[in-house]
């Protein structure tokens, strides 16, 4: 018997406020397949889906799901099923699920699939329980098949950040794409493994960089620099004196 989803009260957010929309640069562009798009328009739909689920941080050719793309182009699956396929794919799991705790992963998926921020910590806890007890596949299924998803995006529309700007506000919510793909806990783990400053290589790439070799190497490098500088200076002076006829070359 599975544990039912923990209830949580929805809070008042931009996407829950009704109002007259004024088109502008800040309004999201809608990508869908309801109007039988041309091949070039289908390319844009697929690109928008990748950007929504993977974000531009992970827009890599190695992350493409070409089989799913082919199914979408031929009409075998809907955009809704394509989104579910991307969110349950191995690259998405490796690049987002495995490098985050469940709470942060829930927040990320609600943003990218439902197009909004989490309501509160109780919602984050509720979906985290689903991941822990029923697995990643069931969690993504619940989001994509939810009434909220179908009401806002249906089967043919790529999810987007809903109603980021309100006419009464001078500045809206930041785009979800600004959220780093992993949190402080994973960065601390990388540092403990020898990584630093967000780079993907260890702090000591070679044995001579590790103490106590580093101090000896610096002394050797300093002595080599002084020697090379002295030789170069002597060569320049000798050449100049020879050119002036002061000394024979």
Distance of CA 144 to the CA centre of its chain: 20
Q: In this model, does residue 205 exceed pLDDT 50?
A: no
Radius of gyration of the chain (CA): 28
pLDDT for res 139: 95
* pLDDT higher at 243 or 49: 49
Residues 6+ apart with CB under 8 A from 93: 136
Q: Which range has the worst mean pLDDT, 21-35, 40-54, 110-124, 130-144? A: 21-35
State pLDDT tens for residues 68-104.
Answer: 999 999 999 999 999 999 999 999 999 889 888 899 9
Q: Rounded to the nearest 5 degrees, what angle is found at the Cα of 55, between the Cα atoms of 50 and 60?
A: 65
Mean pLDDT over 190-214 rounds to 53
pLDDT at 194: 64
Collapsed DSSP state (helix, strand, coil) of residue 102: helix
Q: Is the dihedral of CA 61, 80, 121, 101 positive or negative?
A: negative
Q: What tens digit of pLDDT does each residue of 127-150 get? A: 999 999 999 999 999 999 999 999
Helix (H, G, I), strand (E, B) or coil at 157: strand
Give the predicted TM-score (pTM) of the model.
Answer: 0.65
Confidence band for 198, pLDDT divided at 50, 70 and 90 = very low
- Say what percent of the chain tops pLDDT 90: 39
Nearest-angstrom CA–CA distance, 119 and 15: 11
- Cα 209 from Cα 221, distance rounded (Å): 12
- Arithmetic mean of pLDDT over the chain: 79
């Amino acid at each position: 018997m599975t544990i039912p989803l923990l209830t949580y009260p929805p809070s008042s957010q931009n996407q829950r406020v009704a109002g007259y929309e004024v088109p502008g640069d800040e309004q999201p562009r809608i990508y869908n397949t309801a109007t039988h798009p041309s091949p070039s328009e289908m390319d844009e739909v697929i690109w928008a889906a990748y950007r929504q689920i993977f974000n531009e941080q992970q827009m890599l050719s190695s992350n493409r799901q070409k089989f799913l793309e082919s199914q979408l182009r031929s009409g075998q699956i809907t955009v809704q099923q394509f989104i579910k396929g991307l969110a349950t794919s191995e690259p998405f799991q490796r690049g987002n699920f495995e490098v985050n705790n469940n709470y942060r992963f829930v927040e990320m998926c609600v943003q990218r699939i439902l197009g909004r921020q989490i309501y509160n910590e109780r919602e984050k806890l509720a979906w985290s329980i689903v991941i822990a007890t029923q697995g990643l596949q069931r969690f993504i299924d619940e989001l994509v098949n939810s009434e909220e998803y179908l009401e806002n995006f249906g089967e043919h529309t790529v999810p987007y950040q809903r109603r980021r700007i309100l006419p009464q506000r001078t500045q809206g919510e930041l785009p979800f794409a600004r959220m780093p793909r992993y949190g402080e806990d994973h960065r601390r783990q990388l540092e403990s493994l020898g990584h630093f400053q967000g780079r993907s290589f260890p702090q000591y790439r070679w044995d001579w960089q590790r103490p106590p070799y580093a101090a000896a190497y610096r002394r050797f490098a300093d002595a080599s620099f002084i020697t090379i500088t002295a030789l170069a200076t002597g060569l320049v002076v000798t050449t100049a004196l020879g050119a002036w006829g002061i000394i024979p070359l």
